[in-house]
Amino acid sequence: MRVRDKVVVITGGGSGIGAALARRFAAEGAAAVVVADLDGDAAHTVATTVGGDAYGCDVADSAAVDDLVRMTFRRHGRVDLFCSNAGITTGVGLDDPLDLWHKAFDVNVLAHVWAARAVLPHMLERGSGWLLATASAAGLLTAPGDAPYTVTKHGAVALAEWLAVTYGGRGIGVSVLCPLGVATPLLLDALAAGESGAHAVAASGTVISADEVAAAAVTGLIDERFLILPHPEVGRFWAQKAADPDRWLAGVRRLTAAHPAPPAHPAPPAHPAPPAESEQP
Ligand SMILES: NC(=O)c1ccc[n+]([C@@H]2O[C@H](COP(=O)([O-])OP(=O)(O)OC[C@H]3O[C@@H](n4cnc5c(N)ncnc54)[C@H](O)[C@@H]3O)[C@@H](O)[C@H]2O)c1
């Protein structure tokens, strides 16, 4: 799957990873780059930079996602690659407001459903097309400090798997992008606000740039990989978790207790490595 000459749509394209994908896809020679974001001005700024189109679009609104796809068809005749990238963190646990749980499900899970519903009929008719969902390492492991994020990112990975199983034999490609910490406003603003979950992410491994994530996405697409891991260690943690979940959980709990985070509460690494042999229970 090469991006050259492809018509690409990117949600959450006004900032961070989405903006980096837009820049990278334009540099790779995409036929059109459509930048969609809740923040229409941000989408416009990025679109101007890459010579693309900008749309203000709330991905939690299925009608707005339909409109985005319809407008792209009207202007470019097709969608070859839909990057369902917009996402939000909440920084909350069990006792926090229910509306944050609903919002996380809307943006981090259902938006991927709306995107697939909007583009798949056309892609199936043509017998080709690609869906790239940005989930997170939290969708394979866990994100202490953010229960809705963990649960909904697992949902995003599960949906991508289901789509790959159901449509993969019919010319449709599906990839899911699962980075660990990335230096974007999503993480950096939360760090500045002192959110323990964000401090946990920063403490858990290397924080890479959005451009590095975009480069990994392009490589993963060329290799036609389902699971794209810009941080390779995430694959190792995931395999170790699958091999022995109880041992992994024990290690996470131990590491959680060992990693205090500012301002005053203990904070674990967000996606902790399984314990070393010497640390095993
Ligand atoms: N930054 C990280 O450490 C990190 C790690 C793993 C996964 N991710 C995921 O990467 C994706 C992009 O995040 P980012 O780090 O670039 O964050 P970001 O905050 O820089 O960018 C997210 C963009 O999504 C837009 N957005 C938010 N809600 C929207 C909605 N309802 N409709 C349309 N657009 C909306 C925002 O306006 C913003 O421009 C998210 O899905 C996030 O969960 C980020």
Tokens of 230: 């810009």
pTM confidence score: 0.92
With a 6 Å cutoff on the Cβ, whether 274 touches ligand 1 is no
Q: What is the pLDDT of residues 9-42, one digit of tens each?
A: 999 999 999 999 999 999 999 999 999 999 999 9
Mutation probe of ligand 1 site: the residue of 11, 34, 37 with most atoms within 8 A of C-beta: 37
For residue 241, the CA-to-ligand 1 centroid distance in Å is 26
> What residues are labeled active site?
149
Nearest-atom index, ligand 1, CA of 181? 3
For residue 133, the CA-to-ligand 1 centroid distance in Å is 12
* pLDDT value, residue 270: 47
Closest CA to 267 of 276, 277, 255, 278: 255
Longest CA pairwise span in the chain (Å)? 60
Q: How far apart are CA 54 and CA 67, in angstroms?
A: 13
With a 6 Å cutoff on the Cβ, whether 39 touches ligand 1 is yes
In DSSP notation, 57-87 reads: --TT-HHHHHHHHHHHHHHHS--SEEEE---
Q: What is the pLDDT of residues 141-186, one digit of tens each?
A: 988 788 999 999 999 999 999 999 999 989 999 999 999 999 999 9
How many angstroms separate the first and last alpha carbons of the chain?
A: 44
Q: How far apart are CA 71 and CA 43, in angstroms?
A: 15
Closest CA to 271 of 138, 157, 90: 138
Phi, psi torsion values for 199, nearest 5 degrees: -65, -35
With a 6 Å cutoff on the Cβ, whether 228 touches ligand 1 is no
